[in-house]
Amino acid sequence: MSYHHLTISERIRIEVLSILGYSTRFIAKFLHRHHSTIARELSRNKFENNYCSTSAHNNYLKRRKNSSHSSKYNDVFSNLISEKLHENWSPEQIS
């Protein structure tokens, strides 16, 4: 099962349909998404009981930017590896 993030156009449709008073299940069928996806989107991005597609998309982009994994490779490891290579250590010995 593949997973796809909501697009800005889908968020705009969610905004319009939620303003018109349609249920999450109706919106989900309209967008060919699961109803829990729509419910999570609305609950995660509602502000003062209103859903705004542009602010929801901006919040999504911020969350994606901050969700990157930290790398184990850093300056300390880089310097150590360089030193050992200059001392003619093999990669297997360094690892």
Q: Could you report the per-residue pLDDT of 17-66, keeping only the tens digit for each?
A: 999 999 999 999 999 999 999 999 999 998 888 999 999 999 999 988 88
* CB neighbours of residue 64 within 10 Å: 10
Token pair 């349609």 is found at 22
Helix (H) or strand (E) holding 50: strand 50-51
The per-residue pLDDT for 1 is 54
pTM of the predicted model over 0.75: no
Q: Pairing mode, if any, of strands 46-47 and 50-51?
A: antiparallel
Helix (H) or strand (E) holding 47: strand 46-47
- How far is it, in rounded angstroms, from Cα 94 to Cα 72? 15
The per-residue pLDDT for 58 is 94
* Model confidence band, residue 88 (pLDDT cutoffs 50, 70, 90): very high
